[in-house]
Amino acid sequence: MVPVQTSAKVELSDDYKGYELEYFCVPRHYEDSLECVLIPSGLIQDRIERLARDVAADLGREPFAALCVLKGGYKFLADLLEKIKQCYRFSSENSVPFSVDFIRLQSYKDDHSTGDVKVLGVDGLSFLQNKNVLVVEDIIDTGKTMKVLLEILEKQKPKSVKVASLFVKRTSSSSGLRPDYVGFEIPDRFIVGYALDYNEYFPCESCLCHQ
């Protein structure tokens, strides 16, 4: 069964099996730890290009601040911004200014997430006041941490806040949060690749399903 594309996202069904590893160049020392290639690199890039078009169309010619959630979001951010810049170059002679900042979210108590989120990596968020903010995340699981982050951001009184997430897991523990821009909705499986790591391993371009 192949992914089913909708107007808002590409949805991978629960019984989606992905692609066999032998069809792709996966490092041999990873093969025993992987189940399949869930989403090939080319499909990821094509999907990001479409998300970039949607973001550029929504923002128009207005400047914006991109806020990247580390660690996994950095590669998605880089590819998304490059494609957004291409959209502006093709549609106008004038560029659109934007800034980039990086944050890390820490939610903890005895190694359990509590929803008590601490934002690391920037000296306050007051610089976001009256700005269009694009939050860039690699994957949203339950969405609880992102909901708290959005509450924190709203206190800074930005002009607007949009969330782009490359992956959203379909899980029974979801908070119901839906990003404004979704690359792929995936089953509740553990994935690696495309900067989503497991103990610093699996820096592959494709999205891989980890056993």
> Catalytic residues, which ones?
141
**Do residues 24 and 206 lie in contact, with contact meaning Cβ atoms separated by under 8 Å?**
yes
In the chain, count of helices (H) and strands (E)? Answer: 4, 11
Measured distance CA(80)–CA(50) in Å, rounded: 9
What gap in Å lies between CA 124 and CA 199, rounded to an integer?
29
Q: Dig out the tokens for 190 from the structure.
A: 């553990």
What are the start-end ranges of the H helices in the chain? Answer: 28-31, 41-59, 73-91, 144-154
Sign (positive or negative) of CA dihedral 103, 122, 131, 87? negative
